[in-house]
Structure 1
């Protein structure tokens, strides 16, 4: 049985935009859509206290939120199988657990102080750093409307070897029928000089060639029929991928997961693009 696509909802406009995007994605994949709302209100307060305080019960509010999200998803994609769930848990922990049985998690941005689409909320950041399935965060589109891809391109940041991020990006590009742009950033270390015997005379060319070789090695398992455009770019990976995000419908990056490690597991590149990308970002966990 195919795993569902899971969306974290909270009634905000960013989360509803995530519902729109996820509905389209679920239709492309041919899988069900699961809408999850999580809050600790019921656990600590309860409906009885809510009545005493003259406030609406969180249970009612939660049901309203998931039902509104379900109506939006079905209105956009009537053919979808849609299920809902409200959980009395911290949203970040609830969503990480949901990821154990999800094809991917889809989240909206949730910033503060009126800059919701400039800063990434703590829930999205935590889930991207800890989930064991791909996490897609909806960046871009300041009007909170999910739109069909306009650039016709998926971009993936490529490391030294075949990876889950590359495989994920290939599949996403194939589903949409668009090319995949595989980008490898490279730099000439400042401490190396042209006196080095291996790089004398043409240091930059040597590093660029090494980057191209690494790129080919990372793509060696990509099916030959896949439409992949290869590009090596000089500069820090974070800046290179942010620039590429302006001409992409989805930016895919990998992040390493260390079994048994409970700390923050999100590399600098993934952290930066999650905060500043011009398009949606998919963070794909890589097992160490």
Structure 2
């Protein structure tokens, strides 16, 4: 993996331009380069039959214009960042997966133009978030994320601990506060006759989870002493809690999967809910 190369999927839509601008800022902070990738296919409505050459030339010209516009967006944010770009014939998902094989991350917008050259979340974006071999950032939500915190979902699973490590690095590079969140749904009292009540001290469980969070954060607090941290134990579904926090966050970080719904974990489905509903960029770590 090349830890200094960020791959950005662009298709000319405003969400993909937002992804290019976010990647530019990340590259400026980390010393990375930006590789803009636009996948196109000129086989459109039977274009490989009569008149196919004309359509292919049009598609290539459009791809070059799209990439030039994205490169200009990167330069406007981070003039000193090295940018490479090349149109690639093929479908978006396999092209981006191949391009990112030795990259540090893939960055895409939350949706694209749909159909031709699409990066529509729910198709390309969702498949990347699920199958990419490297971390994926889906840039979405409000246009100005300001100086909010980096929020990370933690449940003790290996994937969540990887997310915690990435969140500390992100917070450190941005001089941002970090909020580590453990969300769970307390059991509800049983209904019906002859049913034993649930013996469950919620306050005691909250204290245990706070202690677990402090233990999990301890080595990272030592490694990144300048990062201000906060732990939060919240009642509710992990996705709902993290979406709520995204309204004031600059970035939400999660692992690909956690311990499962019984443990109130951050599963792959939670990550996918975030990339559909969060109000700020989402980093899915793998």
Please give the TM-score of this superposition, normalised by the length of structure 1. Answer: 0.81
Is 1:50 matched up with 2:75? no
Matched position secondary structure for 2:221: coil
Aligned twin of 1:180: 178
Aligned twin of 1:69: 70
Query: Shift of residue 123 of structure 1?
Result: 0.9
Is 1:155 matched up with 2:151? yes
Q: Distance in 2 between matches of 1:227 and 1:52?
A: 57
Aligned pair in 2 of structure 1 residues 26, 253: CA closer, same or farther (>3 Å)?
same
Q: Is the 8 A contact 2:151 2:180 kept in 1?
A: yes
Q: Which runs of 5+ in 2 are unaligned?
A: 115-119, 191-195, 259-266
Aligned twin of 1:12: 13
Aligned pair in 2 of structure 1 residues 47, 253: CA closer, same or farther (>3 Å)?
farther
Q: Distance in 2 between matches of 1:81 and 1:104?
A: 16
Query: Shift of residue 63 of structure 1?
Result: 1.4
Aligned twin of 2:228: 227
Aligned twin of 2:263: none
Aligned twin of 1:216: 214
Aligned twin of 1:260: none
Name the Cα RMSD after superposition.
Answer: 2.7
Q: Is the 8 A contact 1:137 1:280 kept in 2?
A: yes
Query: Shift of residue 210 of structure 1?
Result: 3.1
Is 1:138 matched up with 2:139? yes
Q: Distance in 1 between matches of 2:253 and 2:105?
A: 13
Please give the TM-score of this superposition, normalised by the length of structure 2. Answer: 0.82
Aligned pair in 2 of structure 1 residues 247, 50: CA closer, same or farther (>3 Å)?
same
Aligned twin of 2:273: 272
Q: Distance in 1 between matches of 2:172 and 2:51?
A: 52
Aligned twin of 2:264: none
Q: Distance in 2 between matches of 1:103 and 1:253?
A: 16
CA displacement, residues 261-281 of structure 1 (integer Å, 9 cap, x when unaligned): xxxxx7221111111101111
Is 1:123 matched up with 2:121? no
Q: Is the 8 A contact 2:129 2:272 kept in 1?
A: no
Aligned pair in 2 of structure 1 residues 204, 38: CA closer, same or farther (>3 Å)?
same
Matched position secondary structure for 1:221: helix
- Aligned residues, how many? 261
Q: Is the 8 A contact 1:161 1:217 kept in 2?
A: no
